[in-house]
Structure formats: C-alpha cells, structure tokens
Structure 1
Amino acid sequence: MRQKFLQKVIRETLEKSNDLSGFSFVIPGKRPVIFIKEILKEKNYNGILPEFFTIDEYLKIIADKQEIKGIALWLIAYQTYSEIYNDEDLSGFLKWFPTVQKDWDDMKKFHGNDKEILEWMLAEERIKNWGENLGDEDGARRKNLNFWRKMNVFLPKLEEKLNEQNLATAGMLHEIAEKNLEKFCKNSKNRVVFVGFNAFTPVEEKLVKTFLQWDKADVYFQGDEYYFKDERQEAGKFLREYKTWKEFNESRSFNWIENEFSEPKNIKVYEVSGNIAQTKVLPEILKEINSENQQADAINRVSTEETAVVLLDENLLPATLDSLSSTDKLNITMGFPLKNLAFSNAMKKLFNLQKQLEKNSSSYYYNDVLPILEELPKNQEDEKLLKNFVSALEERNMVYLSKKQLDELLGGISFYNLFKKQNSKDLLDTLIKFCKELKYREIDDVQYENISHFEKNFIILKNQLEPHHYDVKIETLEVLINQLINSETIDFVGEPLEGLQLMGLLETRLLNFKNVILLSANEGKLPLGNSQNTYLPFDVRKQFNLHTFLENDGIYAYHFYRFLQNAENIYLLYNALGSGVNTGEKTRFITQIEMESHHNIEHIIIENTSEPINQEPITIKKTTAVLEKLEEWKERVSASHLVSYLYNPIDFYLEKVLAAKESVEIEEELSQRNYGTLVHYALEYLYGKIIGKKLISSDLENLIQQIDEAINYSIEKLKHQPEFYQKGMNFVHKQIAKRVVESVLEYDLNLLKQGNSLEIIGLERKIEDIKFYLNEEKTDFVTFYGFIDRVDLLNGNLRIIDYKTAKAKDLRISVKEDRKETLFFNDKYKQALQLCIYQYCVENMSEFKEFDIETGIWSFAEVKNGVQNVEIKDGNLEDALQSIRNLILEILNPEIPFTEKIHEKWN
C-alpha cells in the first residue's frame, strides 16, 4: 500500500538513527501503527520497535493521574453535587451534567483557567448583555444565574474530590500535564516523533514546543499548498499558525507542505436521491475502478488495498456491508453502532417497559411487550409460545393485558422474568444472568458481541452503583444504559493490509489511498456545522479561545482535503433528498474545489424514483391446476367473491384460488369492519329475542332498554377486552354503535306506531345449495351460499335486508338491452349485485315462494333512512342476472387470465 507520508517519516527517522528503541512515536490515532510496522519490515529494520502513543495517552503519562470518565465520573459527580445541593435526582442530574463536564474540560484544555470563565458566567455585564433580547428577561436571567452560581461551587468541589482520589478528567489531565511538562521533558531519554497532527490544544502545543526546545523531538506535519497558502481556506488555519513558531528556523524546517492536491485527479460527484441509495451505487463504482486497474500495465496494477470507502454517517454501515457482500476481502476499521442492533433495541424497549411498570404494574401495553419478544434470541419452545401469544393477541385484539393474562399466555417463555416488575438492582442481576445464558446458545458472531457488550456494561453499572447506595429508579437506569448504547460500537477484526478498506473519516488520518469513495458528503455531515452541544454561548467560547464550530469546521476541512490530496480517483456521493436534519445539500467543500481549484468535476445524478420498477399489471394465467381450483370454487360461490373479483381479480385469485388469508392486525382503534360487526352482533342479539313474533310497540321498547347488554354481548363475541372501549376514540365508537342500534330499534318502533305490521322471521339466514345455471341446457351451474343479515315481513311483504357500515349507493339500476350483458362488470354496482343474488336465492327457497320480495340495504352511516331497496328499471331481475352469469363465466374462462386492476390513488 502506498503510504507516501509515513514512508517519508520513517525514512527521515532511520536516517537520524538505525536504532529506534529510544524513540517514541506520538500519533493522532492507533490505526497507522500497523502501517508503520509494515514499512519498517519492508526496510528490513531488525531492531527493537519504538513506543507508540496517542497524544492523550502521552499526556496521561506526563500527568501521572488515573483518568476517570463515563459512569464512574457521573456517579462521583452526583454524590458531590448532592452533598451541596439536594434538589435533583440522579436521572435529572444526568440530563445536564455530561454537557457541563464537556464544557468544563474545554475550559481547562483551551483556556487553562476554568475559574475565570465560571466567574465570567456570573458577571453582571455578561448576564445583562445576554438577557437583553429575551422575552421573559428576569426569569431567564435568574435561572441562568442560579445555574452558574451552583457550577461555581460544585465544579471546584468535584475537582477537589477527584484530586483526593488521584483521579482526573480529560481537562484536569491537561492542567496537571502542563505543570509537569518542563520536568518531564528535561528527564525524558527518548526522542519523540510527533506525526501528522493538525490541531493542538494549548497544552499539547506547549508539549511539542518544549520537546523541540530541548531538541528531543521531530515534528512532521502533512499539508498541501492548495489549502496552506490560501488564507481563506479553513483547512490550513492551524498549520499556518504552527509554521510561525520560533522553534522552526533555519536549522529546523517546518516539514512538510507538499504540492500534491494540484496533481491530475479524476473527481466524480454523485447526486443520489436517498440515503441508503448511496450504498447501492458502490458496486458500480468498484467495477469502474477494477476495470481501470485491469487495463493498467501488470507491473503497475493496483489492488483493492489502494481503495478506501469512507462513511461520514455510521448508520450507513449495515447497508454498505450488504452492498459489498460480494467483495472478496473487506477490512472494516469503523465500529458497528451498538444502537442499530436488534438486541440493543430490545434492551431499550425493556427498560421502557420496566419504567412503565414502575408507574403502573397492573397492565401491559401489547406494543411494549411484543417488540421485545420479537427481537430477543429465542429457543424453539420460545418461538412456539411467541406464535401462540401473537395469535391470542390478534384473535382477541388485546391492546392491554393484565398481569394474569400475561402469566397465562407468556409464563412459559424462558426469559419471562424480564417482564416482571423489578427494582433496578434486581433487574441488573436478572439481565446479567440472562446475557450469560444467551451466550451459550447458537447465535451469530455479531449478536454474541452485542450481548457480551451489554453483559460487560451491566456488570460495570452494578459495580459502580453498589458503593453509592443510591435509590436508583428504573428511569435513571434507562438513562445510564442509553448513554452507553449510544456511544458504544462493536469493533471488527480484520487485516488492515489486505482488501478493500471501509472506515470513518477520523480513521483516515495519516493514511493515503489511490481510490477514495466518500459517502454522505452532505452539508451538516461534512462539516458538522453549528451543532455543538454546549451551555457556553458562542461569544464566551470565542472570548476565552475555546473551540467553536468554526474551529471544528477547520479540523473537518483539513481531514477532508488531506485525505484527497494524494488520491487519483475520487468519488464523492451525497444524499440529495432533504429529510429530518439532512438538508439535501452537498458539502460546501465540493463547491470550493469547483471554484478554487483547476480540477474538472464530473457530476452524475442517480435517480431513485419511488415508482415501482415494473408498472405492468400482474397477470396470472389459468393453468390446469388453477382451473381445477375454480371447479371446486363453483360448488360454493358467494356474492362477496364476485365483489372481490370486480375490485381486483388478483385479490380473488389469492383468496379463493390460493386460499391465502389476510394477516390479522391488532387494532388500537376500532376498525370500520369491526365497528360494523359490533353493531351487527348487537342487533342480532336483540332481535333474536323476538324472532318469529308479530311485534308490538312494547317489544321494541323493552329491547331499547337492553342496548348496553347487547353491546357488551357483542364485545364478548368479538373477543375484545371491555377495557378497549373505556377511553379515547374506542369509547366514542362504542357510544356511536349504541346510538346506531337505538336508531334501528326506534325506526322499527315508529313503523309499528304508524300502524304497520312487522315480524322478524330470520337473522343470519343461511343460503345454501341454491343452483345458478350458466347455460340454457342447465348442465353447467354454480352453487350460491351465504348469510342474509335479516329477513322480515313488513305488512305481509318479505324484506331481504343487508346491513352495511358504508352508505347505500347506486341501487337504482337500468337493465336496458345494451347493458344487461355487462351491467355488473362495474364495481360501483357491487351492492346492487349482492342484493340481486340474495333475491334470486330467496325466490328459489321453497318457504318463500308465495311472498312478494323486496331487497335492500340498511346503512349504519345513514341509519335513519331505514331500508333502501334495489330498483330495477328498463328490465327485470332475470335481465340483471344475465350480467352476473357473464361475470362468473369470465372468471371460469380459461382464456382470460387474472389481471391486476390498478386503482388510482388520490394525490
């Protein structure tokens, strides 16, 4: 691999001494160490290797203090805070302290005197200027003053306590190291080589200068004239400052500013519609790179080791790995975010569930339980229990479960203890035991690492909490775990010297690649912009030389340009769609290259349309097997089957030929279908009490008093929980259902009061074995079946009534000669089609042959209109039936395939 800069550093160092045992290399990150060792191997270096440190590690050695961070620091800080102020629980404290701690570290690192800044935050002049434009001036000022007044007492006290235990935060380490610098440099026997740095804190800068003054150090910067000489270029901001150090003079050069960015480069910018869509372009780019390599001379052929894929958004890693699945060798040097894995999601949801149980342990919300079950590793017995559990939820539409119900349905699952209400200490013990057990199951490597990370963190958390004897709530535990989840990654084990390199931007430091592919080159990702999480206003940070987003932009700019300066083929991809925090804008660095450099940039637009790729309707031919199924179907045909075919023949094929069942979903709000069923069952329950009786007013008046009883019966028959209807929209739906039932009864009551006679003679009247002939010879037929909601006698006329949730429409049909063949081929007449079939069936039942028959819809949406009858004009029922006959013949016709009907959606 061509690591030009590192090659040059090692060559210069070996020229100074062929024995590196007395050298210490201080570098920005650990990743380049393996490349330095490889270069030494190539140069046949046989001596003792030098020591390698990051600059933070080196400062710790100088400070001679143990660094404290994370949970350990938070708990000591909270204990200190509680000794002074008793106005915050641990979970509240953790919402602000990590940000304050970062600010405090910045004060110490970049200014050196945190007390001066803390006192300035209380200065009357600052508060006055800061509060001038606030609406609630006095309130905001008071809160701000109170906060910083507390910090002026709390932070010095915390520093005192940490010093007593020989502990230090990162900021404190800088302060202590500065005091020890002179002595340490004077006594140091090793020569220190500082390699590839761009931005130092004041203490780090003093460290380098002190070693240079003692002539015990070499410093190698990696810069380029393109951004170094241009004062407007933020990428060269820090290097321009360091060039002015007095330690660089005629006897000691400032090394090195190259002129490599101006070398010919093939730069392509891809505008991609979508975030994940960027990863789909990768295989094509790699094909292009490999194609160019294969055309090169065999001696100069470039392998994939000279190609790096850089992700500026770590969330793209899973999709990127999927796109690169066919790559033979792949080295991943960025961590896989723990928060994106299934077990991590399950843990987050488990803590949320336990938090809910802490408030109310009497019931479980199904959507708090189900995702945990689905995402945790399970054995075969657990899988069976989960399947049965989901079936029970769907069948009974169980939105909320009692503890007893959860015990009955889920008590046998191997990790049921996780769903029991527990205090934080017991929960940690349960989780540690659970993680240990899971590691003995057959799980993949990534899942094993995920679980191991949690086991380790649960143990650390338990050990850290025990000495403090805090009354830790589940909510506090949740905050702590979420902090860990959001910051932890799973590291991959790979071979950095082989294969395609996949990394984050910081992992590219000191390294060079011929081919560079950069994803998410968006403004807001590169640079991050004004997204600092801080309590210190911009003007305060500026006044005391603390880094602001401007300095951070400069650091990101340097990493970007330095990485590109040695590359020959550069591919920059950005997401052009604006959503969430993504603006859909390419990084301004691309525009800078376009405007300030001589490089030609090729722009490529990758469209990711939301339209389906194949717009052709699905077509299914009627094979022998399909025709056999249709012959079976002929023996049991319902009106709803024909309605299904009219709406979409593919739906008919799936349901009636393949017998595919539609998946059941748990309803948090009552669906239109179940609302109709609720009313339907209640009417069936009430009218069932008076069936076969010539009605009088008192019969219906008595039924009106029983509506609540009928609705409760319906709820029980639907297998719904009564609690489902106790609040929210479901309570409203229940009240509307009661009103609809009451309106039906009152309508019938008014009929009686007006002198009409009414008798209910059938509810859910079954239709069966009614033959419907398809030819004149009556040799071919289908058999109708179904259920009629209500059959009654009104003034001696037989009424066939079908209840509908929707409004009645298009019940007046004209069967002229030119229409009767295809009238019901239009699904807008589906209600009329159904009623015509019912009328045909009833007319062919021996018990009803002597009656005049009317068929109609009673719509719950317009219940006070009563029954609305179908009317046939310009023809009769037989004419209408001809259209139904033709529709059935089309379904059975082997020459006519099932073709999808695409319905236009409203925009």
Structure 2
Amino acid sequence: MKFLNKIIDDLLEKSEDLSNFNLVLPGKRPVVFIKRILAEKNYSGFLPRFFTIEELLKDIGETQHIKGIALWLFAFEVYKTQHEEDFGTFLKWFPTVLKDWDDMLKFSDSDIAVLDFMFDEERIKNWSENLNPDEDNPRNKFLNFWRKQRNFLPLLKLKLQEKNYATGGMLHEMVRNKIEDFVSETETKFVFCGFNAFTPTEKKLVKELLKWDKGICYFQADDYYMKDFRQESGKFLREHKTWPEFNDSREFNWIENDFKQEKNIKIFEVSGNISQTKLLPEIFNELSNGNIEQFDFSKTAIVLLDENLLPPTLDALITINRINITMGFPLKNLEFSNAMKKLFHLQKQLHKQSSSYYYKDVLPILDELPKAENDFLIIQNFQKLLQERNIIYISKKMLENELSSLSYFNLFQKKSAKDFLKQLINYCFQLKFLDLDDIVFENISHFETSFKTLKNQLQDYNFEMDVESLEVLINQLVNTESIDFQGEPLQGLQVMGLLETRLLNFENIILLSVNEGKLPLGNSQNTYLPFDVRREFDLHTFLENDGIYAYHFYRLLQDSKNVYLLYNALSSGVNTGEKSRFITQLEIESGHKIENLVVENTIEPVNQDVMVIEKTPEVLEKLKLWKNRVSASHLSSYLYNPIDFYLSKILNTYSEDEVEEELSQRNFGNLVHYSLQYLYEKILGKVLNDKYLEDLITIVDEALNHAIVILNHEKDFYLKGMNFIHKSIASRVVTDILRYDLNLIKNGHQLEILALELKIENIKLSVSDVENINIYGFIDRVDRLDGVLRIIDYKTKKATNIFLKPKEEKIEMLLSNKTMMQPLQLSLYAFAVLSAKIFPENQLECGIWSFAETGKGVQSLEIYEETSLNLKNLEMPLKSIKNLILEILNPELTFTENIPVSFSN
C-alpha cells in the first residue's frame, strides 16, 4: 500500500503522536490497512480518529440525517397538506425530484434560484397557456409540476428544519454556513487522504482548514493525467492544484510518475458475461507461473464492475483458500427476492379484481418460496391438476379450493398493504423454524429485518397506501441492502467493487465487465433537470461523473504491474457488447504495449457419448412380457429411437405433460379425432344417406365441445388467440371430412360405418419358428364403401411412403427406418383384421386420411400398385416387420441411441 505508507511516514515526521490528527477518508475500507501499517512501524501511541467526509459534515451540522423511506413518508405528509394526490402517484416522481433537489442544495448557490428558473422556463415554453388554460396538454402538466415544486420543496425544507432533520443536500447547505466558526474553534488537525472531487461545501471546508493551518491534504495523482489536459481523470485534481492555499510554503502532495512505469496489460474480449469468470483460473496460473500454492494473493484484487458476477466469480475461485469479499451481495439478486416480486405481482392482480390468474404467475411462487413439509404434496397435486386439465388461467375459486391448506395461503389472499406487510413478517418468522440451510436462513432473516424496519417507519403515518406503493417501498429497502461477507481483509485475494479500491493499491489488478455503460456509467442519470440547466447552475452532469470514474480507473492502474481487463463482447439485454472507452484510451494514448486476446465460446457440439443399453437377463424378461402386447406405435417408437422405446415401452416410464399455452400438434389431432368419433358414433352401423351427414354438420361445434371435455381442457382455453384459431381450423377439418362423405353419397356411392376405435388384441403373428407375438391396437375407423372394406387411420400429418414397390433384395429392410412408420402401421392393422376374420371379407383397402389434406379423402396403401390387400400380398411388408421385431428381441443386439446427423455441403 504505497500511498498509505507514504501518508503515515509523513504524519509521523510531523508528530510522533497521531492522536491529534483526524484522518478523513473516502471510505472506511482503508482504516484496517492504516492500522496494519502503524503496527508494522511499531507505533505505540494513540490512534488518530477516522472519519468519512459524510461523517465529518454530520458532526459539523449537528443535525439528524434523514434519507430513504423515512424521508419519503415525511415528505408525503407535507405534500398532501398542499395537494390531493395518492401515495403511489407521489412515489412515481418524488425520488427523482429529491435527487435533483439534493444536487441543487449541494452544488448551486440557491435551490430557489434553480426552481424559479425551471418554472420560468416552462412558462416561456407554454406562452399560450392563457389561450387554453384548461387544456390538459403536456406543456400545462410540466408547468403545473414545477409550480408545485416551487411551493412544496421550500415548505419541506422548513418542516424538516423544525424537526432538526436534514437531507444530504440540506446538510451541505447548513454546514456551508458553519464552516468559519467550526474551523476557528477546532483544536485538532484534519488530514484529507486521497480525495478527488469535492462538493462546494467540502471544498470550502478543506480550503478553510488549510488557511488556518488545521488541515493537511494528500492527493494521489500522476503526471500522466495531470499534465495532459485532455485526460478527464485529472479534471478535478488539476483544479485543486490551482488553489491559492497550495504555494511555496505548502506543496500539492503528491504527483508521482508511476503510470508510465512498465506494466503487463492484457485486454480480453470475451463472448459472454459469466464466461469472463471462467478465465480467472488461467489468469492466476499465469501470474503464479504455475505455482499457485506459493502465490501471494494479498497483492491481487479482482474488481467487479457488475455486482451480478459475484456468485460465478466465487465459483471460479473455489480452489483458493483465502478470499476477502469487500462488496456485499445485494438482496435484490437473491432467489427469495425474485419470489417476493412475483408474490407482489399476484397481490396486485387480486386488487385489480382479476377473475383469473395466469399459471406462470402462480407456479414460480410455489416453486421458489421456502415451504413446510406438508406443502410439497399440496403443490405437487396442484401442478398435476394444471397439467392434466391444461389450465392456463386459474380461477379464484380453484386457487382457494386447491391451495387453501397451504401453510402460507394467506399470502395469496387479498389484503390491505399494511396487513400484507404483517403477513410477510409473520411468514419470514415462521420460516426460520424450518430446516433451512445457512444461506437461505440468512436471506430470510435479512428480508424479515427489512420488512420490520418498514413496518416501524409506517406506524407514525395514517394515510392510505396500496400494495403497489408498498412494493416500491420494499424495493427501495431491498435495493439498498446487501448481505455482508465476513473475511480477513489483510490476507488472501481481494474481491471488491471499484469504489472500494479508493486509497488502496495492488500489484495485480483484474477488472471484469469493463464495458461502456459499466465503466463509465455514461448518461444514465434519472433527472428532471435538463443538461443545460445543470451546466448553468454548476450541478454535476454525467460528464463530471465520467471524470470521477476515470480517476478511479487510472489511479488503480498507476501503481500496478499486471493489469487484466475483461469485457463482454456479446450484445444482449442492456449490454451493448461495447468495450469501455477507457480501454480505447489506453490502447491509443498510454504508450504501453498492450496485448489483446479474443476468447470465444466454442460453437462446436460437445462430443456426446451414445447411450447404449445392454439386453441383460432382466431386460430380456421385460421383453418376454412385451411380446404379449405389441402395437404399431411400439415399433414406430423403436424406429424413431431405440432408447425411447426401451424407456417408455419396456420400463414403462413417461415424461410429465406440460401445460400447453398453445395447442400442440398432438392435441390438435386428438381434438379432431374425438370430434369425428362423437359424430360418426351417431350413425354407426347404418348405410348413410344425405340427411344423416347434413344433420351431423349442424352439430360440429357440439362435437368439438365434447372433445374438449374428453381432453380435460378448459373451454376458456379456446376462446382467444391462437387456440381460438386452432379450434376454428379443427371445426373446418371435421366439416370437410363430413362433406367429403356427403359428396360420396350424393354421387351415388354407398357408405356404411362399421366400427370406430376398433380394438384389436391377441392377434398372433409368428415372426420365426420359435418366436410369436400378439398384436394389439386401435383402428380409428372401419367402413364399407361400395362393398369394399376399408381400414382408415387418421393422421395430422400428410400421408407419406404409402406406395410400396421395393426391389426383392430390399424387402427385408423395407420398413426399418422412421420414414416408413405409416405403411408399417397400416400393414400391421390390415394383417390383424384379415387374420382374425373380424369381418367376412378376405381382402380390404387400408389408408391414411390426413387432416392436412382432407380434400384427398382416404389415401390407400399400395403394394406393387395394388390397393386391394389380402394376406398373400401383405407377406412382403410383414417380412420386414418380422425382421424388425426379431432385432428388438435379439439378446446379442443392444438398444443404441439414435443421434441426429447433420450434413453440410
């Protein structure tokens, strides 16, 4: 810590007793390092007092600082004495106005002058207001807004002063008027260490202390950016150097020439955010020359410019024993926080009198909230019900019927904002009695504390507040709270944010997320004050903020030897994939030799081991049972993927159905299929005439509703969006099939429906001299057209490969790939019907009626251009089917996974 050592050495030269010094620091972090330095120098006196500059101002101001939610609530009490407005609307603008007001008080001579300027500017823009005084237009709204602020903010200041409260800006204004008295009366010296930018009040305090010789300033500056006026990083320090207080008798300490010293700088362009953290082990391997066990990590800092990278960074550093995390982990990034957000969203839906709730708003809450043991079965049954009935929107009644036994069901009921807050506190309290791991327990405890803090603050106020406003308040608390990590700051690797590095120096620096928008933040200010107005009244703009961040960046680099800058090159979400302009400045202006590396995520497929299942004695026993019930769908499953066949047909496993927001192709087929079955059952066994079919056409909607009941779907599922379109298409398909049959009758054909969903079972098929199987299945429709028996299978897809005319040498393998599933199924059905003599005919036709091509009618299977099938001409496809079954039963062959093969030119 070169800079801190230099400060201590200089102070000890001035006095052996440091107790008369007050060290004013940019943050608390360096205190522990200063104490270590004093111990190393064998200092045995009393320690100096340590202040942050904010603490010093509070001491001088002798007032109580009020901020955050406490200030919001107090301000609303004042505001509603002047204007009628609900708390929720107030919260939409007040936090931004408060920040602007604090800037006015800190940086301008008068906040009233700025408010008057804004009001006058809006009056000029709205010069025609007297012509249309009642017109509700944006200009009038802006004018009224600043008219209200001109009256409200001075009143708020007055009311705060009456209570001896002060905002951050008010504190600066109050201290500004007390500086002379304070400096003249104090007897101790104040040492300002490592500051860069000051507010006018802070600057006045420092300069006044220097005039009275009661102040000492140590700046950490470098020739590189002090002499180059283009460098924004030296903007403020160059100004400080011109103070008249720095002269021949008091030097500006110190300006070094460290930045130009030789450095190893590497810049990594990384494809992905988390991918940056995966480079850390390689970087440490390079820094330690492969001897990581002997590496001194205390000289190294990892600086995270994106706090969300903390968890993956710790994962990447799992092999390092000593890590000190200076930055806290934000509560807002915890899983419990995400569950709270979704719970508030649901509560807001309750207050909007919604008749139903989107299932994706409910299920994540049930999944993510910690729960008692009895809750798991309740949630499991509820999820199963949604899947079985494909429920997208959950009614209030269903929510209550199915989840009322849930231990935290009261959180799903409509509550006032204050009652809901009490429920949340009680819920967190009860959770701590469950068997939770330490991290989850810590998360919940922090949230419980935040909820209690808010409850206590609300007790002094009686105004009405809605759940949406409560959510804003809780978010404010959560966004400003973090879980602090305990560690040893003087040993091991340091993981910190950029602001935590102030006054500290490290030999090795690794910065992650060095992207534009992260470093610097850029023009991301929320403000009602235009850029020109801020410049007019010397309020900070994003340009000053960029200068502050530039200084932190260059100061961190100037004393280092090894610098690794990583940035995410991918554009996604708010990330533009653009490297920070500070990197570009380094490359063009620094004079250092910089190595640029590009790290890309490989897009090559991972070498996947093919799954292979041996036919063990246990598997062969399962196959013996399978032979008694062999269906065409089993064989199709095997053709598609032998592993799927093994899992579903041999082990009898199945994947859970998911809730369909849009009707799947399979269920679209079922919708049409069940509708046709409902209709044709009414004329089953009859020779059809015009009237039968015309009557059926009039009740197609009735048939569809019947099918929806069979599918166990909610009718509301089909009332809008794509599902309404799917139902309309299904109605047209069903009608087209009925009309096709009607036209057959009108053209003189005779049609009789013989069977629907015909069950076939125990149909023996000899596949070899020693192996027999039993066929089973269901045939969608059997009819007789002009005396010809027809077996019909409905398909959602088009008919494919139903014209069989293979060469003799290819017959055995004819139906051995998944493109031949349809002829395989038709051949097996035809054999089963003919061999079992279910009908008197010795021959039949067998075909596909495609819902995608209803106008083509039944497309018949052809074998050597013959559509009339008998047991003789079925021998050819059956030979291939038998070989397929023998392959399945062969104990020497494994079940081997089919992996799709991609081809390239």
TM range (shorter): over 0.9
**Equivalent of residue 101 in structure 1, options 95, 98, 102:** 98
* One-letter identity of the residue aligned with 2:335: A
In the alignment, is the contact (CA less than 8 A) between 1:428 and 1:462 conserved in 2? yes
Moved more, 603-612 or 693-702: 693-702
**Cα distance change on mapping 1:547 and 1:403 into 2, 3 Å:** same
1:121 and 2:118 are equivalent in the alignment: yes
1:312 and 2:283 are equivalent in the alignment: no
Q: Distance in 2 between matches of 1:611 and 1:418?
A: 47
Which residue of 2 is the match for residue 622 of structure 1?
Answer: 614
**Equivalent of residue 10 in structure 2, options 9, 12, 21:** 12
SS of residue paired to 2:178: helix
In the alignment, is the contact (CA less than 8 A) between 1:617 and 1:900 conserved in 2? no
In the alignment, is the contact (CA less than 8 A) between 1:121 and 1:127 conserved in 2? no
Q: Distance in 2 between matches of 1:855 and 1:25?
A: 95
In the alignment, is the contact (CA less than 8 A) between 2:285 and 2:292 conserved in 1? no
* One-letter identity of the residue aligned with 1:98: P
**Cα distance change on mapping 1:493 and 1:294 into 2, 3 Å:** closer
**Cα distance change on mapping 1:235 and 1:718 into 2, 3 Å:** same
Q: Distance in 1 between matches of 2:630 and 2:316?
A: 49
**Cα distance change on mapping 1:14 and 1:445 into 2, 3 Å:** farther
Q: CA deviation at 1:583?
A: 2.1
Which residue of 1 is the match for residue 536 of structure 2?
Answer: 543
Which residue of 1 is the match for residue 131 of structure 2?
Answer: none
SS of residue paired to 2:815: helix
Which residue of 1 is the match for residue 335 of structure 2?
Answer: 342
SS of residue paired to 2:486: coil
In the alignment, is the contact (CA less than 8 A) between 1:890 and 1:896 conserved in 2? no
**Matched-pair identity in %:** 60
**Cα distance change on mapping 1:400 and 1:29 into 2, 3 Å:** same
Describe the superposition over 1:646-702 as per-residue Cα deviations: whole angstroms up to 9, x where unpaired. Answer: 333443344334544223111122222112212222222232333333334443344
In the alignment, is the contact (CA less than 8 A) between 1:265 and 1:567 conserved in 2? yes
Q: CA deviation at 1:800?
A: 1.1
Q: Distance in 1 between matches of 2:186 and 2:385?
A: 73
* One-letter identity of the residue aligned with 1:798: L
Moved more, 897-906 or 856-865: 897-906
Which residue of 1 is the match for residue 132 of structure 2?
Answer: none
Which residue of 2 is the match for residue 365 of structure 1?
Answer: 358
Q: Distance in 2 between matches of 1:231 and 1:374?
A: 57
Describe the superposition over 1:209-228 as per-residue Cα deviations: whole angstroms up to 9, x where unpaired. Answer: 11111111111111112222
Q: Distance in 2 between matches of 1:78 and 1:639?
A: 73
Q: CA deviation at 1:571?
A: 1.2
In the alignment, is the contact (CA less than 8 A) between 1:858 and 1:868 conserved in 2? yes
* One-letter identity of the residue aligned with 1:35: F
In the alignment, is the contact (CA less than 8 A) between 1:352 and 1:478 conserved in 2? no
**Equivalent of residue 564 in structure 1, options 554, 557, 560:** 557
Q: Distance in 2 between matches of 1:602 and 1:519?
A: 16
Q: Distance in 2 between matches of 1:459 and 1:605?
A: 49
Describe the superposition over 1:127-170 as per-residue Cα deviations: whole angstroms up to 9, x where unpaired. Answer: 55999xxxxx9955444333222222222122122112211111
In the alignment, is the contact (CA less than 8 A) between 1:816 and 1:874 conserved in 2? no
| Unpaired segments ≥5 residues, structure 2 | 129-134, 867-872
In the alignment, is the contact (CA less than 8 A) between 2:69 and 2:476 conserved in 1? no
**Cα distance change on mapping 1:657 and 1:570 into 2, 3 Å:** farther
Q: Distance in 2 between matches of 1:130 and 1:620?
A: 82
Q: CA deviation at 1:244?
A: 0.9
Moved more, 524-533 or 198-207: 524-533
Q: CA deviation at 1:366?
A: 1.7
Which residue of 1 is the match for residue 437 of structure 2?
Answer: 444
Q: CA deviation at 1:628?
A: 5.0
Which residue of 1 is the match for residue 774 of structure 2?
Answer: 783
In the alignment, is the contact (CA less than 8 A) between 1:617 and 1:901 conserved in 2? no
* One-letter identity of the residue aligned with 1:358: H
Describe the superposition over 1:180-224 as per-residue Cα deviations: whole angstroms up to 9, x where unpaired. Answer: 111111111221111111111111111111111111111111111
**Equivalent of residue 741 in structure 2, options 748, 754, 760:** 748
Which residue of 2 is the match for residue 811 of structure 1?
Answer: 802
Which residue of 2 is the match for residue 868 of structure 1?
Answer: 859
In the alignment, is the contact (CA less than 8 A) between 1:366 and 1:401 conserved in 2? yes
Q: CA deviation at 1:773?
A: 3.2
1:247 and 2:245 are equivalent in the alignment: yes
Which residue of 1 is the match for residue 527 of structure 2?
Answer: 534
Q: Distance in 2 between matches of 1:24 and 1:248?
A: 20
Which residue of 2 is the match for residue 134 of structure 1?
Answer: none
In the alignment, is the contact (CA less than 8 A) between 1:338 and 1:490 conserved in 2? yes
Q: CA deviation at 1:790?
A: 1.3
In the alignment, is the contact (CA less than 8 A) between 2:612 and 2:894 conserved in 1? no
Moved more, 277-286 or 18-27: 18-27
* One-letter identity of the residue aligned with 1:862: E
* One-letter identity of the residue aligned with 1:622: E
Q: Distance in 2 between matches of 1:361 and 1:899?
A: 48
Q: CA deviation at 1:464?
A: 2.8
Describe the superposition over 1:739-764 as per-residue Cα deviations: whole angstroms up to 9, x where unpaired. Answer: 33333333333333333333322222
Which residue of 1 is the match for residue 811 of structure 2?
Answer: 820
**Equivalent of residue 673 in structure 2, options 680, 687, 695:** 680
**Aligned pairs (5 A) from 1:432-511:** 432-511=425-504
Q: CA deviation at 1:572?
A: 1.1
Moved more, 779-788 or 882-891: 882-891
Q: Distance in 2 between matches of 1:440 and 1:39?
A: 45
Q: Distance in 1 between matches of 2:517 and 2:123?
A: 30
**Equivalent of residue 198 in structure 1, options 189, 196, 199:** 196
In the alignment, is the contact (CA less than 8 A) between 2:126 and 2:140 conserved in 1? no
**Cα distance change on mapping 1:327 and 1:126 into 2, 3 Å:** farther
In the alignment, is the contact (CA less than 8 A) between 2:87 and 2:464 conserved in 1? no
Q: CA deviation at 1:810?
A: 3.4
1:881 and 2:873 are equivalent in the alignment: no
Q: CA deviation at 1:848?
A: 2.6
Describe the superposition over 1:205-257 as per-residue Cα deviations: whole angstroms up to 9, x where unpaired. Answer: 11111111111111111111222222111111111111111111122111111
Which residue of 2 is the match for residue 430 of structure 1?
Answer: 423
Moved more, 68-77 or 644-653: 644-653
**Cα distance change on mapping 1:874 and 1:713 into 2, 3 Å:** closer
Q: Distance in 1 between matches of 2:781 and 2:182?
A: 98
Q: Distance in 2 between matches of 1:804 and 1:222?
A: 78
**Equivalent of residue 221 in structure 2, options 206, 220, 223:** 223
Which residue of 2 is the match for residue 735 of structure 1?
Answer: 728
Q: CA deviation at 1:349?
A: 0.5
In the alignment, is the contact (CA less than 8 A) between 2:834 and 2:843 conserved in 1? no
C-alpha root-mean-square deviation of aligned residues, in Å? 2.6
Q: CA deviation at 1:897?
A: 5.4
Q: Distance in 2 between matches of 1:125 and 1:739?
A: 61
In the alignment, is the contact (CA less than 8 A) between 1:366 and 1:399 conserved in 2? yes
What is the number of residues matched between the two proteins?
891
SS of residue paired to 2:782: strand
* One-letter identity of the residue aligned with 1:481: I
In the alignment, is the contact (CA less than 8 A) between 1:649 and 1:901 conserved in 2? no
SS of residue paired to 2:318: coil
Q: CA deviation at 1:903?
A: 5.6
